[in-house]
Amino acid sequence: MEKVKVKINNKELEVEKGTLILDAAKKAGVSIPTLCYHPDQEIKANCRVCAVEVDGMKNLPSACATVVCDGMVVRTNTPRVRSARKINIELLLSNHNMSCTTCIRNGNCELQKIAAELGIRENTFDNIMVLQDKDESSPSIVRNQNKCIKCGRCIQICANVQGLSILDYTGRGHTSEVKPAYGKYLNDVRCVACGQCSTVCPVAAITEKEDIERVWEAINDPKKHVVVQTAPAVRVSIGEEFGMEPGEIVTGKMVAALRALGFDAVFDTDFTADLTIIEEGHELLKRIREGGVLPMLTSCSPGWINFIEQYYPELLPHVSTCKSPQQMFGALAKGYYPEKIGKKPEDIFSVSVMPCTAKKYEAQRAEMRLDKKHQDVDAVLTTRELGRMLKQAGIEFSRLEEEEYDDPFGISTGAAVIFGATGGVMEAALRTVYEVATGKTLGSIDFTDVRGLKGIKEAAVELNGMKVKVMAAHSLSNANKVMEMIKSGDASDYTFIEIMCCPGGCIGGGGQPYGATDELRNKRISGIYKADKELPIRKSHENPAVKKLYEEFLIEPLGERSHQLLHTHYTNRKNGR
Amino acid sequence: MNRIEKKLLTKRFGIIDPMSIEDYLSLGGYAALQKALKTTPHAVVEEIKASGLRGRGGAAFPVGQKMEAVQKAKSGVKYIICNADEGEPGNFKDRYLMENDPHQIIEGMAISAYAVGAAKGYVFIRGEYSRSVYVMDNAIKAAKEKGFLGKNILGSGMDFDIEIYTGAGSYVCGEEFALMLCIEGNPARSTFKPPFPTAEGLYGKPTQINNVESFANLPHVIQDGAQEFAKIGTKHSKGTKLVSLCGNVREKGLYEVPFGVRLWEIIEELGRGVQGSIRMVQVGGASGPVLPPNMLGIKLDYKDFADNGMSLGSGAVIVIDTANEVLDIVRNTLEFFRHESCGKCTPCREGIVHLLIILDRFMLGEAEKKDLELLKTLIQAIEDTSICGLGQAAPTALKTAMRYFPEVFAAGIKKRSAKAI
């Protein structure tokens, strides 16, 4: 690679040709503030906060959009640069609802951080914000126009990663805004509630809909027995909310923290992930045996279910009828657990902690209410919300002693943990389906072909002489490609396809801690596979608690009770939810 | 013809019927294209370079240099775009060119296409210019019929076709990146550069994008030769310049003058002066500087303007008499830019609004002394960090007004009452 010499603030260094000033400066030990820039996205260069002075250039180029050239002299800390950055931030603040102390992003807002770094003490410009109502139509996401700084990150992730383009700029100049088409409410457009927009928003313009207060209320209600379940991906990311490393496995601390919050029983969604594998695995084998619709598509990711219901309803027969692990858990929590502990279903308040915003919508679905009235999962907290709740309660997460999950939904396997990463459901299914179908034990249970951040991954296994081809795709732009393959017949020799709505799978979910980049997603994924390796049991069908549940209650996979509790149906929602 | 006029691009105006290609041909039309086709593309570019012709859209980038970059760019597909989105208030030269001598532009584009190796061209015409669209459309069809456009032009083996594209009236469409995005079907919003259009332009392909007047010059450079062309004008500015003269002058209109004439000559000799006296002159359009009467000795010349810290822009001369106040004019200009900002980058989207808010304090006599400093800082930030020329030029009128009419701003500062002191 060709090298070029650059000088940044009198420090000479050599960098590769084509390096951005921003990255060259980082090498020189200089950090340049950025706002619209995101390492995984196309360059937007619209906030103009990363302005730098370059000798020989008339204006101040943006460091995020300008490539260094040989002999370039860059200055990042001149009065002119400082003034320009400050003015641009002050301008943004002048059209921003500056309610920092009551803001959901207080403490982790990128605009707030830069304003602090630049030493802005008062805004020289009049605040000309015209307050607008929030869009709270979606059960998952809140859009607060009053906070928006028009950086366009949400637009890009929705268009480029999810392929949906729900949000875009509307209007022009000072009246331009980021909105759904025709200024419609989020719930009135074909938004899948994945919340990816909320993960990249630098401010509080798009956030999850908080359910914290409802959970506090239930915890403090002596009549309620409050149970909580934790999704696989949360254990490798909640630590980030407390300054721990991304991917660090903090399962035991998380259990202790939840107990400290006052939950009556702390359970693991991993348990129902194992259950999902049993049900889904048998469904797959049944479809293969009886000539059912193939390839079968997974159904764990609610953003993905929203996608197929709204965009490809004609392919719904391909989707497994299994509820997601969250909802299987919800059904057991209301349909099995109360009797076991001598309580009535209405006395149970069931909470889930999810890396996901679409789960909030899923929990509210009419199909997810055993008694047709009450939700099986009463409240869904995202990983970020759990972080906030723990802080509200003053729980020092990193200092907690590790604790164990409660019975009967506390035992799980490595196969369940890997649900949190793209390809994980597929791998878990293969581990079980192979052994159930062939009666043989797998030599190696690591199906590495379906792991990692590649958009669409493939693998093949031999099942009783039949070659079974499988696929795993993550993010909806890739899901879209797979749907087109199925429609055109190009996917006809595939038997089973896993689809996850979010990039990287659930570890990259819309409810996860801020700052997700591909680099960070990889760290969380490593955590997931490490957790899998460390568990004594790594195949769902070997989970003793699941076996016991079948013996005691469910009787058999795909049986009568399973049908009532663990399976669902889908609806053509092409014309909206 | 007045002594200071020099008709080159406008020499056929009023003589030919713009709807008739025969008229154009009878006066030597398309001879330059035929001449160009007999030489090599390289020779054409060299000729343009030697002429010293600079872009007439406002940025004044050497046309030959741009063509050379596109010519050398390695790509099977290249584009020519004629920027006819003349949205700058005070300008109407492109409209006159299109409506009076359309083939001159088409010929210039064809010469460019041959030189850079493009097979497809676009004329992006301002949405409001319906007559221009009509005349250009007719001319393109006629040129196709006669074999000056289309397949195998004049037996040379070269293919070149032109399509008309109209905007919906947004000023920012005149910014080259916004314009190209618009042709691609996107909202017109400018973007950062590099890469420049010569490397990655329309649909990511090398693109020569020039102003109408620039293309109209090309047949003359080729036909008369670079040497002859370069005799017109000054050392640093070659050829003629179309001037849209408007405002409070007696004889408003389009004039063609060689570079080097002085502003007062244009106003007094061609425009026959104003009725009262001149308050100021805005040069280049809304994005241009405002000059006080004592600066009208400045020459129409890229260097003379640059030496005074200004740019010539697209050649509008807006004369404002003493019946108008400086701040009213400046405010009007800023209001225009506030309305036309695409909204992409912070300084332009948010900054212009605040220029207006602060300026209003001066207009109401309620400004404070620190507001002068605040204006200067804000202007600097907008110029320094706006993503495109629109934003960068938006405060020019205000900035030059502050420079040349400081007394007007001083008068807007709130006087403290004796008690308060």
Contact B383 A150 (CB under 8 A): no
Alpha-carbon A483 to chain mean position: 21
Contact B343 A150 (CB under 8 A): yes
Chain A partners of B341 at a C-beta cutoff of 8 Å?
Answer: 172-174
Distance from CA of B342 to the nearest CA of A (A): 4
Chain B partners of A59 at a C-beta cutoff of 8 Å?
Answer: 383-386, 392
Contact A174 B351 (CB under 8 A): no
Chain B partners of A83 at a C-beta cutoff of 8 Å?
Answer: 377, 380-381
Distance from CA of A436 to the nearest CA of B (A): 54
| Confidence band of A165 (pLDDT split at 50, 70, 90) | very high
Q: Residue A240 above 60 pLDDT?
A: yes
| Active site residues per annotation of A | 280, 283, 300, 320, 359, 362, 367, 506
Residue type, B125: I
Identify from B349, B355, B368, B388 which residue to disrupt to test chain A contact, counting A C-beta atoms within 10 A and taking the largest count.
B349
Report the candidate in A148, A174, A123, A76 with the shortest Cα–Cα distance to residue B352: A174
| Confidence band of B419 (pLDDT split at 50, 70, 90) | low
Measured between CB atoms, does B185 come within 8 Å of chain A? no
Chain B residue with CA closest to A89: the answer is: B346
d(CA B227, CA A389): 79
Q: Residue B194 above 90 pLDDT?
A: no
Once rounded to an integer, what is the mean pLDDT over residues A220-240?
Answer: 97
Measured between CB atoms, does B189 come within 8 Å of chain A? yes
Distance from CA of A99 to the nearest CA of B (A): 19
Cα dihedral A408/A409/A415/A420 (nearest 10): -170
Measured between CB atoms, does B381 come within 8 Å of chain A? yes
Contact B381 A124 (CB under 8 A): no
- The strands making up A265-268's β-sheet, listed across from edge to edge, are A265-268, A225-230, A348-354, A379-382
Complex prediction ipTM: 0.91
Distance from CA of B47 to the nearest CA of A (A): 29
Identify from B171, B189, B192 which residue to disrupt to test chain A contact, counting A C-beta atoms within 10 A and taking the largest count.
B192
Residue type, A171: G
Q: Residue B420 above 60 pLDDT?
A: no
State the average pLDDT for chain B: 95
Q: Chain A residues with CB-CB distance to B under 8 A?
A: 43, 45-49, 51, 59-62, 65-67, 80, 83-84, 87-88, 91-92, 94-95, 124-126, 128, 149-150, 169, 171-176
Once rounded to an integer, what is the mean pLDDT over residues B194-214?
Answer: 95
Q: If phi over 0 gives left and psi between -120 and 50 gives alpha, with beta otherwise, what is residue A91? A: alpha
Measured between CB atoms, does B341 come within 8 Å of chain A? yes
Size of interface A-B (CB pairs under 8 A): 102
Q: Residue A244 above 80 pLDDT?
A: yes
Taking only the tens place, the pLDDT of each residue in A60-88 is 999 999 999 999 999 999 999 999 999 99
Chain B residue with CA closest to A94: the answer is: B350
Measured between CB atoms, does B334 come within 8 Å of chain A? no
A152-179 CB burial, b ≥16 within 10 A, e <16: bbbbbbbbebbbbebbbbbebbbebebb
Residue type, A575: N
d(CA A154, CA A152): 5
Once rounded to an integer, what is the mean pLDDT over residues B209-216?
Answer: 97
Query: According to the model, what pLDDT value does residue A426 have?
Result: 96
Query: According to the model, what pLDDT value does residue B418 have?
Result: 53
Taking only the tens place, the pLDDT of each residue in A404-414 is 999 889 999 99
Query: According to the model, what pLDDT value does residue B196 have?
Result: 92
Identify from A76, A114, A172 which residue to disrupt to test chain B contact, counting B C-beta atoms within 10 A and taking the largest count.
A172
Measured between CB atoms, does B385 come within 8 Å of chain A? yes
Distance from CA of B91 to the nearest CA of A (A): 22
Query: According to the model, what pLDDT value does residue A577 have?
Result: 63
Chain B partners of A122 at a C-beta cutoff of 8 Å?
Answer: none
Taking only the tens place, the pLDDT of each residue in B70-109 is 999 999 999 999 999 999 999 999 999 999 999 999 999 9
Chain B partners of A94 at a C-beta cutoff of 8 Å?
Answer: 350, 354
Contact B377 A176 (CB under 8 A): no
Report the candidate in A4, A52, A45, A47 with the shortest Cα–Cα distance to residue A25: A52
Query: According to the model, what pLDDT value does residue B393 have?
Result: 94
| Confidence band of B191 (pLDDT split at 50, 70, 90) | confident
Q: Residue A421 above 60 pLDDT?
A: yes
Taking only the tens place, the pLDDT of each residue in A30-69 is 999 999 999 999 999 999 999 999 999 999 999 999 999 9
Contact A173 B386 (CB under 8 A): no
Chain A partners of B170 at a C-beta cutoff of 8 Å?
Answer: 172
Upper half-sphere CA count for residue A355 (Cβ side, 13 Å): 34
Strand partners, A499: A473
d(CA B417, CA B420): 5
DSSP string for residues in A401-449? PP-PPPSSS----HHHHGGGSTTHHHHHHHHHHHHHHH-PPPS----GG
Of A46, A61, A88, nearest to B344 by CB-CB distance is A46
Structure token digits, residue B277: 């006296």
Q: Residue B9 above 60 pLDDT?
A: yes
pTM: 0.93
Q: Residue B310 above 90 pLDDT?
A: no
Q: Residue B417 above 70 pLDDT?
A: no
Chain A partners of B338 at a C-beta cutoff of 8 Å?
Answer: 173-174
Structure token digits, residue A457: 């991954």
Measured between CB atoms, does B378 come within 8 Å of chain A? yes
